[in-house]
Amino acid sequence: AQDLMFLAENLEVDLSFNKIERISLAQAEKYALNRRYAKNNTIIIANNPIVCDCDIYDLLRYREGRMNQSVRNHFHLEMEDLICDNPNWLKGRSLQELKSQSLTCLLENPGMYDALCPESCECQLRPNEPAYIVNCAHRALTESPVKLRSPRGLLPIELNLTGNYLTKMPVMTHPGYDKISTLILSRNRISQVSLEGLSNNIRNLALDSNNLTKLNSSVLNFLKNSTKLTNLSLEGNPWLCDCNARELLSFIQTARIKIPQLQKVRCALSESLGIFEMTPEDLCPLLTGWVIASCTSIVLLGLIIGGIVALYYRYQAEIYAWLYARQWCLGLITEEELDKDKLYDAFISFSHKDQDFVMEELVPRLEGGEMQMKLCIHSRDWLAGELIPTQIVRSVENSRRTIVILSPNFLESVWAQMEFRTAHTLAITEGRPRVIVILYGDIGPIDQLDPELRAYLAMNTYLVWGERLFWEKLRYSFPHDKQDVMNKGRRRKEKKTVFENQRPTIRIANDKSELIEDTHPNASTPPADTLKTFVSSSSQVNNDVSLNAETTNTVNSNTKMIENCNEVESPNEKIQVKKPQIITTV
């Protein structure tokens, strides 16, 4: 190519009717890109005895316009009537008939390139999409070549075994077979495809016109999951279409692999319809009734289970109350077994601007004193360098509860709100209360909050920092110890025995009277169960009395707070009941 880079400009050089055999433009693009100005020279090379081997690949690219335009700016080749003089199988052919993309060059002496070519086969090089082509087609072979090697072992191999007498596929463990990218086995007598005959490097596989009747599950899975296979030929085989062919049908209809002549992939006994057009019922008619019966049974079973689940969730509170009243299935209440593998009692989600409040007020009380909890604090317990979303998910999943410090700073923190959503999602998924919200500071009107937070606060209880009995309510929000619940049940039975000859009356004990005020209820709706009061009177107890503190905001002496009671010790005035739990004993 450098011989064509003249220093002068606008020249016309006539080199026709010489004995030029090779015109190599392999370095033409490199030289042209290093020249600053165009030369616009014309070089005539017609009527020279050109050798049409792989060296003319770049000359063909130049003629086809597939070379960088800067080369044409430096010289223009006129090659009309340029005829191949060698090799013999191309002698006399015009250069116009050759295409760079399909050009192959016969290797008469592969040893010079450190390559192997099997006996009775022809081996060629292809410059475009470089490959070593081993052509063993129509050689009456009964076995595939034992060994292959491309030049210096670098190029992929395309092995063509069309039109032979092979009864089984080549074994990919033979030397050099791992380099095969194209395997053509058309028009042989192969009756079975095995995994030993497949390789992860194969891009094109031709199995058409053989004696294949089926492909087993392992082969179909390999073909389906292969990341490199792009073309698969299957037509011309006597495929057996029965119930066992459903996997083949599914593969053909859903495979991302290109299957040429797909309409010609037909059943041996029914050549009028392509397999890809069939349905599972066409392959296995007896299957239809079984499928319908199975589907009907599954649907009915699903409806029954769905109904049971719906009833459970609809009346979950009533079911728990009924079980609790009879001291049955207490494990459903304590969560002790469900959370025994949790690393932390609670993960505290807060804005870093509220860290002083958390570390000075909450953490000492929760980790010390009576509660003795193990807490997860992001500034203390997270691993440095790990992704924040990953640590949020792990902290929530490894904690029995997530305490959310809902403050104005929290509402401005993207990460804090992500922690809330993660905990809320887990709670919804498990169907158990796992989030404890503590309102800290003035967050403004609730109806102006984020929709998810607004919905949560509207439908769930929360605590307010500084309110009465804050720490008692917070302690009650955590899972109850199983033994405590058992003891509670025993105390309740004892209490019922003591009062079984008493008549119930409502009275507020002095040490709990501060929980009832003449003011509007606090914005907090902490997690409370019921308001229960028992006072001795003179006759037999007909039933226990409970007030639901979550749903009752006002109590009037004339309301139906207690049925079957002749006497209520309360004036005829309206009083306000705060939402926290109130338990009054004798």
Residues ≥6 apart with Cβ < 8 Å to 289 = none
Residues ≥6 apart with Cβ < 8 Å to 346 = 366, 373, 375, 376, 399, 400, 401, 402, 403, 436, 478
SS3 at position 56: helix
Which residue, among 255, 177, 197, 263, has the nearest Cα to 223 in the 3D structure?
A: 255
Question: What pLDDT is stored for residue 301 in this prediction?
Answer: 93
Question: What pLDDT is stored for residue 193 in this prediction?
Answer: 94
Query: CA-CA-CA-CA torsion for 334, 338, 342, 348, nearest 10 degrees?
Result: -50
Which residue, among 450, 354, 363, 370, has the nearest Cα to 407 in the 3D structure?
A: 354
Q: For residues 103 and 127, is the Cβ–Cβ distance under 8 A?
A: yes
> How far separated are the first and last CA of the chain, in Å rounded?
110
Question: What pLDDT is stored for residue 573 in this prediction?
Answer: 35
Chunk the chain into consecutive blocks of 10 residues (it has 586) and report each block's average pLDDT, rounded to whole numbers.
65 84 81 72 84 86 84 80 84 86 87 89 91 94 93 90 95 93 96 92 94 93 91 92 88 85 84 79 70 83 90 69 55 61 86 88 84 86 82 84 88 81 76 81 82 80 85 78 51 44 35 34 36 31 33 32 33 35 33
Which residue, among 379, 341, 339, has the nearest Cα to 363 in the 3D structure?
A: 379
Strands 105-106 and 75-78: unpaired
Q: For residues 435 and 406, is the Cβ–Cβ distance under 8 A?
A: no
Any bridge partners for residue 406, and if so which?
439
Which residue, among 470, 441, 445, 474, has the nearest Cα to 458 in the 3D structure?
A: 445
Q: For residues 460 and 439, is the Cβ–Cβ distance under 8 A?
A: no
Q: For residues 41 and 15, is the Cβ–Cβ distance under 8 A?
A: no
Cα angle for residues 464, 510, 520 (degrees, 5° grid): 40
Copy the structure tokens of residue 450: 């984020």
Any bridge partners for residue 434, and if so which?
none
Q: For residues 122 and 147, is the Cβ–Cβ distance under 8 A?
A: no
Any bridge partners for residue 575, and if so which?
555
What is the rounded CA–CA span in Å between residue 371 and residue 479?
12
Q: For residues 82 and 47, is the Cβ–Cβ distance under 8 A?
A: yes
Which residue, among 571, 533, 525, has the nearest Cα to 549 in the 3D structure?
A: 525
Which residue, among 197, 147, 123, has the nearest Cα to 167 in the 3D structure?
A: 197
Element (H, E) at 191: none
Q: What are φ and ψ of residue 61, in 5° steps?
A: -60, -40
Rounded to two decimals, the pTM is 0.47
Cis before residue 87, ω within 30 degrees of 0?
A: yes
Helix segments in 226-286, DSSP class H? 246-254, 280-283
Residues ≥6 apart with Cβ < 8 Å to 104 = 124, 125, 126, 133
CA distances, 259 to each of 52, 168, 204, 223 (Å): 35, 21, 10, 12
Burial of residue 180 (CB within 10 Å: 0-12, 13-18, 19+) is: buried
Copy the structure tokens of residue 380: 């203390």
DSSP characters for 382-421?
Answer: SPTTS-HHHHHHHHHHTEEEEEEEE-HHHHH-HHHHHHHH
Residues ≥6 apart with Cβ < 8 Å to 539 = 501, 502, 503
Q: For residues 376 and 396, is the Cβ–Cβ distance under 8 A?
A: no
Q: Where on the phi/psi map is residue 235: left (φ > 0), alpha (ψ -120 to 50), or beta?
A: beta
Residue type, position 317, single letter? A
Within its chain, how far is the Cα of 416 from the centroid? Answer: 25
